[in-house]
Structure 1
Amino acid sequence: MTHARQPLVDALKVLAAQCIVWHHLSAYGPLSDALWTQAPALADALYDHARKAVQVFLVVGGFLAAGTLLRATDGRLLRTAVLQRYRRLVPPFLVAMALAAGMATLLHPWLSDDLRLQSATPGTWLAHALLLHDIVEVPAIAAGAWYVAIDFQLYALVAGLAWIATQLAPAPRRNALALALLIGCIAVSLLHVNRHPDLDLWALYFIGSYGLGVLAAQAVRGPRWPWSMAIVAIGAAALAVEWRDRIALSLGVAVLLAGWARPGTPRPASTDPASLAPRSQASGVASKWARGWAARLTAALAAGMATWADRSYALFLTHYSMVLVGNAALARWPMLAAHAWALAAACWGASLLLAWAFERAVERPLARRLR
């Protein structure tokens, strides 16, 4: 993909990250019980529907990974890309897990059993470092740890398909073969594997959504119409076999991305006759002033979205520590139950602040050192 910002992608990442934070606030400990007591319909919606934002991350992840993986024509480049992905994901992940473990230890007297640290042995840390904690049945240190492992599995799987293409096809046909292999995996996933929740430890369970994101990126590069129709056809077939809300959401996000023009693509000059009509000097000045302010507002909004999109991984990694703090505060001061939603909002705000600090002090420096 182009290095230019993708405003739609930024907006999706920001929105999905906030949904995950609120889902976990509605899912863990006595704070979640208090939220359900005061506003059961809203708490139920956050618990049941906000977690589906994971599908947005899956599709966006595939969309962003496509350019690196499917356009590589050398196996060594693919191995390097996978290693770089591990370096991008795991070091900040381990720091965030250490933060969550430290917070759980510090707040242990006030945490309910479902929030207490279950294991902190060297084996626990090794399993997390290798992203095998779910596979070897090691209790996760923090909520959402499973997704980091799945993200890496998905990236490695698509890289593996691209590597197979480099071994079997001449350079001009490698991209086509890699896409064909990927579509086969998408079909197997959506038509069979994704219908069996006990297989959700593996990339093949999620490759349907991730792969739709890759195909959306292919549509953006063109030809747009055939690839968009392919996405719709694959998604419709999967939903016809068995309706799944999460797959319907993945399909919607993929179609949205496939139909979104690349940021920075110049628009043709207007041929609207009204735009060619002479204007008075006053109306021209007013119109220019309005366009200027609209452009500034749009640029400011896009810049804000880009900033928080860059912090979405930090927010995803660190917000669980603030979920622990909120639940410990409620256990320590039970009168806060009457203000559970205000407490949850405070935890959300604190999570945003922590993500800002984590991205600046941990994630960004680690990325520079491990590049």
Structure 2
Amino acid sequence: ARVAIIQRPLSTGGLAYSFRRHRSNPWTLPLFVKNKMISPLGAGVLSFLIDGARTMLVAGTRSSGKTSLLGALMLEIMPTSRIITVEDTLELPVGAMRKLEYDILSMKVRSALMGETTEVSAEEGIRASLRLGDSSLIVGEIRSEEAIALYEAMRVGALANVVAGTIHGASPYGVFDRVVNDLKVPVTSFKATDCIVVANPIKTADGLSSWRRVLQITEVRKHWTKDPLAENGFVDLMKYDVEKDMLVPSEDLMNGDSEIIKDIAANRKGWAGNWDAVWDNITLRAKIKEETVSLAEKMDLPQILEAEFTVKSNGVFHKLSAEVSQEFGLPLSEKVFPKWKAWIDREINKMA
């Protein structure tokens, strides 16, 4: 849990407490699909971007589920990849991931709200991570001077590994405004951001209830100079449809007009210049997430939505994709999905 306490003279009425209880097990993309925070296709897109080693910021207001979503995205990274986390308040599912045999290093750094302490600053922690070899870098929350160091990491680390973090912001431009104007990151450095995922609570018409939802998955293009909003630097890949209560693909995504996804495809055999094959892989990932949720509900097996099974399923997906690619040249969904379905059916039979 996360606890905040204030007292006099700041709190005129005496002691005041705030408790934020975390889920005992890490959140996963299948769990978020079940809770409708994200659509299966949205989960498929994010899974594809994580595999493609993109740089990503998860944005939102307070209590929007940013850190939980970031933790779920960490589980999409293969356990064979080393992960370094940098946090001032330890909230990411590091312990749970170690139990799942992830090679993960947790750095505890000084809070931006604290005065002089013996702890190392977040900026120094991020710079140290760059000297620790080939790793994915996950920053718990970007608050102050560490932003400049993070963007250095994005510019040098995103060539081969995921670099991701959370930040307060209600929209892609809100993130740009905070990073550039508040945190003093150079405008050109912001282009190192590949993708911004915005999550926020959605209130009902009566204002009495709210649900957490991913509202946007937006790519940041590189061909602008001063203002990404005015110069079409932000392109929504998916956006929340309030009537459907789900994340839906944009025309740009459906037409294959995504520079980030094309850049990932350009370095994969059989995908370069072949949007149909790329889209087939994204929808395959979505179908697997959706089928997992469906089976969990149908068979009353909520455990297959949890982290342990999710990591196992992801590993089987990658193994089967490699086998099918070796035989057919591409990880064709029509070949991979039946093999994966046969595997999960066997696993479910063992649990029955």
Normalising by structure 2, we get a TM-score of 0.36
- Richer in helix (by share): 1
Q: Greater CA radius of gyration, 1 or 2?
A: 1
Tell me: higher relative CO, structure 1 or 2? Use CA pairs within 8 A at least 6 residues apart.
1
Higher strand share: 2
Normalising by structure 1, report the TM-score.
Answer: 0.35
